[in-house]
Structure 1
Amino acid sequence: MADTETRSGGCHCGAVRYAVELDRGATVQSCNCSMCGKAATLLSFVPAERFHLERGADATTDYLFNKHHIHHLFCRTCGIKSFAHGAGPDGKPMVAVNVRCLDGFEPS
C-alpha cells in the first residue's frame, strides 16, 4: 500500500471544505486545458473514495465544457475551483484536486 497523508483544503471564502487522502510524492500536473491553463491550476488525481467533501455541496456550481467529461465545481461565493470530478481513463470515478487549494500549500 502506498504511503499516504490526509490533507484538508477548500475555496478562498471557506464555504467549500474537503479532506483528501493523497499519496506522498504524488504527481502534480499543470493541466493544459483551456479552463485550467487560464487559472494556473495544479492538479493531483485521486480515486473518488479518497476524497471527502466536508461542506459546501450546496455552495458550488458545476461547469462542463468541451466533451463534458469533467465536472468543474466552483464556489458560488468566491469563484474558486478547488476540485473537479469525473471518470479516470479506467472509467472509475476520480477527483482532480487543485493542490493550490490545500491548506498550507507551498510550491517547491
Structure 2
Amino acid sequence: MLYKGSCHCGKVAFEIEGELDGVIRCNCSICARKAALLWAVPHDKLTLIAWGDDLGRYTFGDAKIAHRFCRSCGLHPFAEDVDEGAERSAYININCIDDVDPSTLSIFDFDGRSA
C-alpha cells in the first residue's frame, strides 16, 4: 500500500510503500520527548516528494541515526540510518502519515535507552 505524509507545514513531504501492521515506541531520550511512533521500513521504500532546504538533520550519541526535521515547522517526520547499504532503514513517524489511526496498530516497545 502507498502511504503519503508530511510535516505540519507540508514543506517536507514523502511517500512510503509497504504494509503498516505495527509500530515501534522507542524510549530513547529524543523519541520519548517527541512521543513518536515509528514504522521501520527499508530505506528504498521511502520517497521524498518535497524537502529543499527545509529538511534538517540531528544526530546524537554514536550518530548512527539521522533524525530528520522540518526547519520551518519543527516537526520530525522520519529518521534514517546514517550508514549506506542494503540493510539501511528509515523510521517513519506515523503521526505524520495521512489517514492513519495509531490506536488501530500494535505497538512494540523498544528499549532505546539501553541500546
Q: Report the AA paired with residue 56 of structure 2.
A: T
Instruction: Give 2:37's aligned residue.
Output: 42
- Aligned residue-pair number: 102
Whether the 8 Å contact between 2:5 and 2:98 is mirrored in structure 1 is yes
Structure 2: distance between partners of 1:36 and 1:57: 24
Percent of aligned positions with the same letter in both sequences?
Answer: 35
Structure 1: distance between partners of 2:4 and 2:67: 19
Higher relative contact order (CA 8 A, sep 6+): 2
Whether the 8 Å contact between 2:66 and 2:82 is mirrored in structure 1 is no
In structure 2, the CA distance between the partners of 1:87 and 1:73, relative to structure 1 (3 Å rule), is closer
After superposing on structure 2, the runs of 4+ consecutive aligned residues of structure 1 that deviate more than 2 Å are none
TM-score by length of 1: 0.87
In structure 2, the CA distance between the partners of 1:8 and 1:66, relative to structure 1 (3 Å rule), is same
Equivalent of residue 16 in structure 1, options 7, 12, 26 = 12
In structure 2, the CA distance between the partners of 1:41 and 1:24, relative to structure 1 (3 Å rule), is closer
Q: Does 1:73 align with 2:30?
A: no
Unmatched tracts of structure 1, length 5 or more: none
Deviations 1:47-96 (A, max 9, x none): 011110011142111100011000001100000000011069x9721100
Q: Report the AA paired with residue 21 of structure 1.
A: E
